[in-house]
Structure 1
Amino acid sequence: MTARAALVVRGGWEGHHPVEATDLFIPFLEGSGFDVRVEDSNEIYADEAVMAATDLILQSVTMSEISREAFAGLRTAVENGTGLAGWHGGIADSYRNTSDYLQLVGGQFATHPSKHPDQCSGDQSDNYLPYTVELTDLGRGHEIMAGLEDFTLHTEQYWVLHDDLVDVLATTTHPVQPYHPWHRPLTSPAVWTRLWGKGRIFVATPGHSLDVLQDDNVRTIIERGLLWASRTESA
């Protein structure tokens, strides 16, 4: 049996630990029958031969930029059946200046609300809040979320702008607080999938730090999402 091919593309803002974070999942991919190639530049997306042979892309590139040629290669690969998967800013806050990428993925990081100003110290922990990831009815019947229940995290809670072509498997709700300007609770997708041409896209918004990625629920969701998105699974 020929091994499936996974391409790990990582880089961008170092605060999301793209190398260490993706290293957590490479053994899982190899154990699941993938030959894994790692690239530190998204210019690999412009290599038509590599992309045509890739069954799954695991991307962890926060912010950064992407060339016209690289994005065209990524989009073509997904349309032709290559899976695209990732977590947190590595997929939902990539390439902010490329609107076509935002359309491809279906959701974009907008903010992560902070603690009360009196509790803020000026570091990343200002945005660490306790919150609940709640499975949707669709999620409870989906293979990625099978057997899981609502769970809580203490980390960045993503507020995501999205469209109606995403299939939302789990949500999180941002409450009204007197120190924030919104006036009613806002529910945002926390885990979603998307069909794009022949390809599948998987996004989980938890994953700011290594400890969050090693949470049993988060890690299970990501591992299942990687397999779900792969070309072989979607064929």
Structure 2
Amino acid sequence: MSRTTPRHALVVRGGWEGHRPVEATELFLPFLRDNGFEVRIESTPKVYADTAYMSGVDLVLQCVTMSEIAPEEVAGLRSAIGEGTGFAGWHGGIADSYRNSSEYLHLVGGQFACHPGKAPGDRCGDGTDYFLPHRIEMTPAAADHPVTAGIGDFELETEQYWVLTDSYCDVLATTTLAARALDPWGRPVTCPAVWTRAWGEGRIFVCTPGHSLDVLRDDTVRTLVERGLLWAAR
């Protein structure tokens, strides 16, 4: 039987303003509504502790860089996802959130560690000092996955995330950080760039590209995020 009632999407946005959480999430609200979601927007994770409300949420789109989360809030989020609520986001809004919570880091499965910058002589003192050309490479698993099917490797010039992660992530794309003469690490490091994660009955989707609005408007990145939102949703 087809579903006749709307699905419910919760958008939680805030934290560090450099990632433009309001403007970034606004890019995807029409897409969610066009796909049958009623959307609620919150500026803090307090709503996660409302277990009665969270039980009816089909998708959480989170864009909160850094900030803090209370134990009861992360417990509510974990419980909701375990019962089938989808959880999705991009860049620091999901992979660099709530550094105070090991329970959150365990849930997401990947934590931003750094984004290497340009050589000192090439820096100009703004955020572009950390914009490096790099390649996002699909894994074999990506070929048949609903999020990545038909998408090939692609190039970006933006922040390249070095991610600390674990083997429970299902990695759909990677990026390899070079080992340059100016770097203290002695060999290239390959990190997940797009991954999914099963959590009880729920699904988690993470896309590390997405530092700025222009990256989120990139056709390939936007397609990945839109597909990821739909895939993760209950």
Taking structure 1 as the reference length, the TM-score comes to 0.97
2:83 aligned residue (73, 80, 85):
80
Deviations 1:72-98 (A, max 9, x none): 110100111100000000000000010
| Equivalent residue in structure 2 for 1:189, among 186, 189, 192 | 192
Aligned to 1:194, the other structure's residue is in SS state strand
Aligned match of 1:59:
62
Partner of 2:143: 140
Query: Which of 148, 163, 167 is 1:164 aligned to?
Result: 167
> Any idea what the Cα deviations from partners look like across 1:42-67, whole Å, max 9, x if unmatched?
10101111100100000000000001
Distance 2:112 2:44 in 1: 22
Q: Distance in 2 between matches of 1:120 and 1:80?
A: 47
Q: 1:122 Cα shift?
A: 2.0
Q: 2:153 maps to which residue?
A: 150
1:119 maps to 2:111 = no
Distance in structure 1 (CA, Å) of the matches to 2:106 and 2:163: 13
Query: AA paired with 1:26?
Result: L
For 2:209, what is the secondary structure of its paired residue? coil
The answer on 1:18 being equivalent to 2:21 is yes
Superposed CA offset, 1:164-203 (max 9, x none): 0000000000011001111111000000000011110000
Identity fraction in percent: 64
Greater CA drift, 85-94 or 68-77:
68-77
Specify the alignment match of 1:49 in structure 2: 52
The whole-number CA distance in structure 2 between the counterparts of 1:197 and 1:148 is 28
Where structure 1 has 5 or more consecutive residues not aligned to the other structure, the ranges are none
- The match for 1:214 among 210, 214, 217 is 217
Quote the residue 1:177 is aligned against: 180
Cα shift at 1:138: 0.5
**How far does the alpha carbon of each residue in 1:135-156 deviate from its partner, in whole angstroms, 9 at most, with x for none?**
0000122110111110000000
The size of the alignment, in residue pairs, is 231
Q: Tell whether 2:50 aligns with 1:29.
A: no
1:131 Cα shift?
0.4
Whole-angstrom CA distance in 2 between matches of 1:144 and 1:110 = 25
Q: Tell me the TM-score normalised to structure 2 length.
A: 0.98
Give the AA of the match of 1:20: E
